[in-house]
Amino acid sequence: MTYSGNLRCSTGLALQNNIEWLGANLKEIKKPFLVQHGLNDRATDCKGSKDLYEQAQTPANDKSILLYEGCEHIMLRDPVAGSKVFKDSLDWFVSMDAKLKS
């Protein structure tokens, strides 16, 4: 579900504080991650996702970035790409699980 009410001031400030902290500390990230971003996203800039991928110290084989042509911010709702986004997420989790077991 999508929340459409007003954002509480303290929640907004906490989000802003954490976004600023994360932006300043991207090089500290070492854990595996998957970034998925729609290239038609009007809510958040794809540059942030690209910066995370490039600056994180996570080994290259433990991080992935998938950019979806034509997708907007809420990619799972996209009638065409939504199922691919979901499948790509599941595939990434399965591959990380297999790595941990080996």
| Domain contains 59 | yes
pLDDT of residue 100: 86
| Domain contains 90 | yes
Q: Structural domain tally of the chain?
A: 1
| Domain contains 5 | no
Residues 6+ apart with CB under 8 A from 38: 67, 68, 70, 71, 72, 73, 75, 78, 81
| Domain contains 21 | no
| Domain contains 13 | no
pLDDT < 50 regions, the chain: none
pLDDT tens-digit map of 74-92:
898 888 888 999 999 999 9
Structural domain for 57, as ranges = 30-101
| Domain contains 61 | yes
| Domain contains 4 | no
| Domain contains 18 | no
